[in-house]
Amino acid sequence: MGTDSVAATVARLAPAGAAIASAPIVEPSVDPGPDGGISIDGSELPLGGTGQIEVGDSIGISLPREAAVGGAEVADGGLVVYPGEQKSDVSVAVGVADDGKRGPSMAIHTVIPSADSPREYTYDISGARPILNDDGSVSLVGDDVTSAAGDKVDGPERSRPAAQRVMGSIARPWAADAHGAPVPTRFAVRGGALVQTVDFKETTAFPVVADPSVKLCDFWTAYCVKLSRSETKSINDGVFVSAAAAASHICAFIPFAGWGIPIRFVCGGAIAAVVWAMRSTFSQANREGKCVELKWGIVPMSILRGWKVVSC
């Protein structure tokens, strides 16, 4: 398939909730020099068909190992296409969508031409560890954050610590056939790499498009921390007795703890002002067996900028 044909196929088959279907595509900037690359909204893409996509300044994600693709070409509309070397090879189209409100999302679309194509696509990840969530999405986590009680367990009964720094997330995967009908697909994590399986059949209408979409926590100005299910339940069950108790416990997860008492003091006042608004979020997460993610401001330090229910 040609560059514009690949891009048109992706645009036509992307479901309503997909990144590029829900926000404008950011126009890439191309530096064709020997050390050049393609820049899109703070991310860097390789000019050749190998190498990693640098998402933001900290996370690297490869093109799928199974894709034998050529050099990058920018299609009309802004998608960066890596066409298959042969007509029978898969192609890859990368785009960043940003509506200016929720932050950018990078989508890596694999265009699968036939039933003879691979059913699994492997993405090597650097700078973060992929962890599969209960709902099929993936968290990209960095350093663990330990609670004030030292609740950090790596034994067989609990594979997660009390809280983790969430550097980014990958939405639940989707795949669609040539008619736009969904094709069963799922993620797995193997040896630190993300693997997407696309369960097409001989009778599937091709081409099929499959898409991992990556979204970062805004770690330039914020630091995201996801509490474990047990920590979420603990806060919900026992901490919301008083604003002071809640503030003390939640502020234990500030990633700047080593900077001492002043930051904790500022946090305590900020949490006390919103603690009752947070209670419904913790209650919902506990009721649904989910977790809570906290977004701490880096500028200004220790201010809790948001919280939400997330899959564990």
Q: In what order do the strands lie in the sheet with 185-190?
A: 120-123, 193-198, 185-190
Going from the C-alpha of 109 to that of each of 23, 91, 255, the distances in angstroms are 16, 8, 34
Residue pLDDT, tens place only, 258-274: 444 445 556 766 777 77
Answer whether the bond into residue 300 is a cis peptide, omega within 30°: yes
Parse the chain into domains and list their residue ranges.
Answer: 3-127+172-216, 129-165, 222-310
Mean pLDDT value of segment 150-167: 50
pTM for the full predicted model: 0.79
| Residue 311 near residue 242 (C-beta atoms within 8 A) | no
The percentage of the chain sitting over the pLDDT mark of 70, rounded to a whole number, equals 83
Helix (H) / strand (E) containing 81: strand 80-82
Please report, as a single letter, which amino acid is at residue 230: S
pLDDT at 34 over 80: no
Tell me which of 2-16, 216-230, 248-262 is least confident.
248-262
In the predicted model, is pLDDT for residue 69 greater than 60? yes
Q: Could you tell me which residue, 248 or 294, shows the higher pLDDT?
A: 294
Do the beta carbons of residue 126 and residue 52 sit within 8 Å?
A: yes
pLDDT tier for residue 154 given thresholds of 50, 70 and 90: very low
CA distance 243 to 248: 9
